[in-house]
Amino acid sequence: MRIATWNVNSVVARLPRLLDWLGTAEPDILCLQELKTSADGFPTDELADLGYEAAVHGTGRWNGVAVLSRVGIADVRRGLVDEPGFQPEDALLEAHEPRAVGASCGGVRVWSVYVPNGREVGHPHYDYKLRWLQALRATVQVELAAAPFAVLGDFNIAPTDADVWDPAAFATSTHVTPPERQALAELRALGLVDVVPRAMKHDTPYTYWDYRAGAFHKNMGMRIDLVYASTGLADSVRDAYVDRDARKGTGPSDHAPVVVDVDLSPAG
């Protein structure tokens, strides 16, 4: 089975690229982030033509997540356990941003997540990010009972200094602060494995490059798109890669897809 994740930075703007990539990479399950469209505006028919069902959580021009599957979709859940809103009144209005969706696909329980950016240290959005990560941990703690399990997506956190092109350039920025990295460590401590570095067994490519200043061509990137899997699923991983080619050309997303191949056969 091939499982992948991709922040497409607008599924409508990136639709031709998405359809082409699906036809080439042929993932069985694809987690998408930053849809920037409502569920009604999601290209369900175009994806169905390629054999994919979709579980979508999107409300408009910002955020949005989805799970695509050609091995079936069941038990869809939108949102996290005790998920916080950005503003205090959001919880009262149930105005949660669409940042997490879970589904069972072909015997694997997956969650597609788009962790809040945080903007800058000390900003209310940074506090929101940390609270949101607490809710993600609470959700994963419950969902891990369903195995095999994986949570994939744009975490907006580089796990280590090796996952950014220049740690000094991020010394006072979000994405690398101790509280954010501690939140990731606490998530892994539930029994999850960061499978891509283990599978690749060498320097893991970045997954995100800013559009500005020729960052992609200079490889000034970050590894913030992650695949965290339960131990059993992690042990079944046979290969993984970051598809840099999908970041090339005209009009790409600023993220590249991350692809993981697993062998779920009894002898796998």
24-54 residue pLDDT tens = 999 999 999 999 999 999 999 999 999 999 9
Q: Which amino acid is located at 143 in the chain?
A: E
Q: Is residue 268 part of a domain?
A: no
Active-site option among 96, 128, 154, 243: 154
Q: Is residue 222 part of a domain?
A: yes
154 is a catalytic site residue? yes
206 is a catalytic site residue? no
Q: Is residue 267 part of a domain?
A: no
**Which tokens go with 37?**
């469209």
Which residues form the domain of 248? 2-262
* pLDDT at 88 (0 to 100): 60
Give the total number of structural domains in the chain: 1
* pLDDT at 93 (0 to 100): 47
Q: Is residue 93 part of a domain?
A: yes
Average pLDDT score over residue span 127-144: 97
Q: Is residue 24 part of a domain?
A: yes
* pLDDT higher than threshold 90 for residue 147: no
* pLDDT higher than threshold 80 for residue 202: no
Terminal Cα distance for the chain, rounded = 11
Residues in CB range of 36: below 8 A, 6 or more apart: 9, 10, 11, 12, 13, 58, 61, 62, 63, 64
Does 225 carry a binding-site annotation?
A: no
Average pLDDT score over residue span 214-230: 97
* pLDDT higher than threshold 50 for residue 259: yes
Does 154 carry a binding-site annotation?
A: yes
Q: Is residue 170 part of a domain?
A: yes
Does 34 carry a binding-site annotation?
A: yes
pLDDT digits (tens, 9 = 90+) for 148-164: 999 999 999 999 999 99
Q: Is residue 223 part of a domain?
A: yes
CATH number assigned to the domain comprising residue 181: 3.60.10.10
Average pLDDT score over residue span 158-173: 92
Active-site option among 57, 96, 175, 255: 255
pLDDT digits (tens, 9 = 90+) for 68-122: 999 999 999 999 999 998 976 555 445 689 999 999 999 999 999 999 999 999 9
The alpha-carbon radius of gyration of the chain (Å, integer) is 17
Q: Is residue 53 part of a domain?
A: yes
Does 254 carry a binding-site annotation?
A: yes
Active-site option among 52, 114, 126, 228: 114
Does 9 carry a binding-site annotation?
A: no
**Average pLDDT score over the chain:** 94
Report the predicted TM-score, pTM, of the whole model to 2 decimal places: 0.96
